[in-house]
Amino acid sequence: MKTLITNIGELTTNVVSGDDLCGTLRDAAVLIEGGQIAWVGQASYAPSANNIVDADGRAVIPGFVDSHSHIVFGGDRAAEFEARMAGEKYAAGGIRSTVAATRGASEDELRARMRGFIDEMLAQGTTTVEIKSGYGLNIDTEERLVRLAAEVTPEVTFLGAHVVPAEYADRADEYVDLVVGPMLDACAAHSKWIDVFCESGAFTVAQSRRVLEAGIASGLMPRVHASQLRPGDGVQLAIDVGAASIDHGTYLTDADVAALAASDTVLTLLPGVEFSTRQPYPNARKLIDAGVTVALACDTNPGSSFTSSMPFCIAVAVRDMGMTPGEAVWAATAGGAQALRRTDIGAIAPRMRADLVVLDAPTRVHLAYRPGVPLVDSVWKDGVRVIGGQS
């Protein structure tokens, strides 16, 4: 079966062309075959196909790659958000209340909730999602979380070192022993990534290094939560261990920025966190101009960022972080792919997975220009139209 999406008014390929990061083509067409992109070019030169889809001048972009989420959890923290909007400060300790609710939820409840978030994300154009554990913090529950996550994505991250659970209060090193020992043994087979929250109030640099090195020794690849609440040494640690991404980076030092620019570690910015914790937005303009590779992700979780909307994050990144619409869309697609070290997604080019979004808009700029407006016309995942009209 060959499907041709034609009459595309603006196609974002992410195949850099001159100074156009987005590799924009106008009056374009895309041929899909066997779940992959088979051809991309001017509509008037398109090869023949048995299934023709008329995009009617709409814009088409690669499916969003949301490289940071925590969507397997129980409970809700709306009251904490409400208190924060009335002046309370965000603190990582709130994670423990979600841990209690997650331990108390059944496997079926956790699965149904997680699948609901996946559906919600797909409807907003997200075709790849990374999912972290981290709300179990004991062997059985962490194993359950990574196993459930692996049902819906290959991008599973073991985050047993999210915070020190209450039963290990004042015994953080003993908790790290558990994480790098039997908990990692139980979780590694379901996981691709190892992560740690390297921040005061969570884990020290020395503890974080132990966690990352143990994960690497078990065949996992590193990524790191750091510099969310204050500057720290987590960014340097992430670069030292060859992390694919350091996530948050709300409080970076000049030395962090220079080190990131000289590394192949992606900086994943999470605008939903600053939005819902009332922290200052990082200056993405300055970071990009310094040569840092920036990705955007939602960080969907019940505490610091309960949005699953990549268009929302793009709008905030453009409005408040100094990114151009093209940079923000690139960061939410190709940037996310780079943060996951994936070379088969994040662009519309031959041999890439056929994951793409038809926007109900003439240009990708509308993602920031029309904030809060649902602009997804249809979504294609692995060459199949999963949202929108019949394929």
Residues in the site for Fe ion, rule: CB under 5 A? 299
Task: Tell me phi and psi for residue 360, to 5 degrees.
Answer: -85, 65
Q: What is the spatial distance between Cα 244 and Cα 67, in angstroms, rounded to a whole number?
A: 11
Nearer to ligand NIG, 64 or 197 (CB): 197
What residue type is 306 in one-letter code? F
Nearer to ligand NIG, 226 or 361 (CB): 226
Q: What is the spatial distance between Cα 21 and Cα 323, in angstroms, rounded to a whole number?
A: 13
Cα end-to-end distance, the chain, whole Å: 11
Nearer to ligand NIG, 95 or 387 (CB): 95
- And the tokens for 70? 């925590």
Minimum Å distance from CB 140 to Fe ion? 22
- Which of the listed partners (Fe ion, ligand NIG, none) does 303 bind, with a CB threshold of 5 to 8 Å by partner kind? ligand NIG
Minimum Å distance from CB 230 to Fe ion? 16
- And the tokens for 198? 């390297």
- Which of the listed partners (ligand NIG, Fe ion, none) does 192 bind, with a CB threshold of 5 to 8 Å by partner kind? none
- Which of the listed partners (Fe ion, ligand NIG, none) does 251 bind, with a CB threshold of 5 to 8 Å by partner kind? none
Q: How far is CA 233 from the centre of its chain?
A: 22
What contacts 150, CB < 8 A, 6 or more positions away?
156, 190, 191
Q: Could you tell me the CA-to-CA distances from 91 to 97, 253, 273 in Å, in that order? A: 12, 21, 12
Minimum Å distance from CB 255 to ligand NIG? 22
Nearer to ligand NIG, 29 or 226 (CB): 226
Minimum Å distance from CB 369 to ligand NIG? 28
Q: What is the spatial distance between Cα 127 and Cα 119, in angstroms, rounded to a whole number?
A: 10
Nearer to ligand NIG, 42 or 200 (CB): 200
Nearer to ligand NIG, 245 or 304 (CB): 304
Q: What is the spatial distance between Cα 225 and Cα 4, in angstroms, rounded to a whole number?
A: 41
CA nearest to 24, candidates 8, 38, 45, 39: 8
> Burial, 82: exposed, middle or buried (Cβ in 10 Å; 0-12, 13-18, 19+)?
exposed
Nearer to ligand NIG, 77 or 381 (CB): 77
Minimum Å distance from CB 299 to Fe ion? 5
Nearer to ligand NIG, 21 or 224 (CB): 224
Are the C-beta atoms of residues 258 and 229 closer than 8 Å to each other? no
3-state class of 246 per DSSP?
A: strand
Minimum Å distance from CB 71 to Fe ion? 11
List residues near ligand NIG by CB under 6 A. 92, 94-95, 98, 197, 225, 228, 273, 299, 301-304
Q: Of all helices (H) and strands (E), which one includes residue 203?
A: none
Residue whose CB is nearest to ligand NIG in the complex, by number: 303
3-state class of 164 per DSSP?
A: coil
Nearer to ligand NIG, 304 or 333 (CB): 304
Q: What is the spatial distance between Cα 243 and Cα 238, in angstroms, rounded to a whole number?
A: 5
**Extended beta strands in 74-229, E state:** 126-129, 131-132, 156-161, 193-198, 221-222, 224-226
- Which of the listed partners (Fe ion, ligand NIG, none) does 94 bind, with a CB threshold of 5 to 8 Å by partner kind? ligand NIG
Minimum Å distance from CB 99 to ligand NIG? 9
